[in-house]
Amino acid sequence: MGVRRRSGAVMAAVPVLALLLLLLAWGGPPAAGQKRKEMVLSEKVNQLMEWASKRSVIRMNGDKFRRLVKAPPRNYSVIVMFTALQPHRQCVVCKQADEEYQILANSWRYSSAFTNKIFFAMVDFDEGSDVFQMLNMNSAPTFINFPAKGKPKRGDTYELQVRGFAAEQLARWVADRTDVNIRVIRPPNYAGPLMLGLLLAVIGGLVYLRGSNLDFLYNKTGWAFAALCFVLAMTSGQMWNHIRGPPYAHKNPHTGQVNYIHGSSQAQFVAETHIVLLFNGGVTLGMVLLHEAATSDMDVGKRKIMCIAGIGLVVLFFSWLLSVFRSKYHGYPYSFLMS
């Protein structure tokens, strides 16, 4: 009987021990795992906050991207710009998009509503080509939102071709994907007011010096020349340069060759603007000489010289202008004198 009682007590103790082990299994390791998860998350957020305090757009390579963007845990969103900014990549659009992206990130970084809910990062192809391969990405620039939970969806890839890369458009997309509203603040541009002030100062000085004789204000030739200069500057692309800020020219780092004409119809260099301005001016001067040769009261000999000079200028500079057009619009079938 004593043996049976002891064996029964042992049998009764077995479920109790199993229950205790089960409770330890449920309450012990998961709690420790949760603590480790929170610790890793805290380290990641602190690291990102430290980098964001120094630079609004955090530059990432493959290791940083996998650890801070792809790997869990993560309770923050990361807007990543995939780009190719090195000069030898010749990505003019990447530079333009980067300037707008920096404006957006700075607007968020120095906003009173700044939190660790969202971060802005950048992966350059030459610093993280493995990331491009991992995401099967073959174009730049590209903007992707990596949400706090889950993987990026279709709407988390910014439609650059449809919306453009203006900071205001990017801010609307960020608000739509993350519920974070960013008020874009652009740095002040004093070039316009300075030029207007200089122009007013010149006009005021002329009026002051020649207050007794203002006939020059009614000079049609002077106003025509000023209007012509303005038209030539605008048609050659000076306003595009002011808005986009392209480089003056491009030097190939491998061959050392300097290109003054951009090979794409979607971009241009500052030097290209000056060249086109010169060619347009040459054609215009030739047309003016032809008009004067036909309408002036000069003797026949001078009018013939003006006519020949005008025809020569129009033919020569128009040929050069057409050759520039052909180099930018590949496949254009027509040429004149020069290919």
pLDDT at 1: 46
According to the per-residue pLDDT averaged within each range, which of 221-230, 241-250, 284-293 is highest?
Answer: 284-293
Has residue 269 been placed in a domain? yes
Reported as a single tens digit per residue, the pLDDT across 180-219 is: 999 998 877 666 788 888 888 887 887 777 656 666 667 7
pLDDT value for 253: 63
Domain presence at residue 26: no
Kindly report whether the peptide bond that precedes residue 141 is cis, defined as omega within 30 degrees of 0: yes
Q: Residue 18: its pLDDT value, please? A: 55
- Same domain (yes/no): 153, 253: no
Confidence of residue 6 (pLDDT cuts 50, 70, 90): very low
Co-location of 141 and 236 in the same domain? no
Given a cut of 70, whether residue 21 has pLDDT beyond it is no
Q: How far apart are the first and last CA of the chain?
A: 116
Same-domain status, 140 and 266 = no
Q: Considering the domain boundaries, does residue 40 fall inside one?
A: yes
Q: Does the bond joining 73 to the residue before it have cis omega, within 30 degrees of 0?
A: yes
Q: Considering its fold, how many domains does the chain have in total? A: 2
My answer on whether 143 and 261 are in the same domain is no
Q: Are residues 226 and 124 in the same domain?
A: no
Q: Do 240 and 290 fall within a single domain? A: yes
**Within-domain flag for 118:** yes
Q: Is residue 51 part of a domain?
A: yes
> Within this chain, do residues 173 and 228 fall inside the same structural domain, yes or no?
no
Question: pTM of this prediction?
Answer: 0.55
Q: What is the pLDDT of residues 134-176, one digit of tens each?
A: 999 888 899 999 999 888 998 999 988 778 888 999 999 999 9
Average pLDDT over residues 230-238: 85
Give which of 107, 116, 171, 117 is closest to 143, Cα–Cα: 171
CATH number of the domain encompassing residue 99: 3.40.30.10
Shared domain for 168 and 231, answered yes or no, is: no
pLDDT for 65 equals 94
Distance between CA atoms of 201 and 196, rounded to whole angstroms? 9
What pLDDT, on the 0 to 100 scale, is given for residue 4?
Answer: 46
Average model confidence (pLDDT) for the chain?
83
Dihedral angle over CA of 167, 173, 176, 180, nearest 10:
-30
Domain that holds residue 260: 219-328
Q: What is the pLDDT of residues 91-145, one digit of tens each?
A: 888 988 999 999 999 999 988 889 999 999 999 999 999 999 999 988 889 999 9
Average pLDDT over residues 75-86: 93
- Domain assignment of residue 21, yes or no: no
Judge whether 190 lies within some domain.
no
The answer on 259 and 155 residing in a single domain is: no
Q: Is residue 158 exposed (0-12), middle (13-18) or buried (19+ Cβ within 10 Å)?
A: buried
User: What band does 244 get if pLDDT is binned at 50, 70 and 90?
Assistant: low
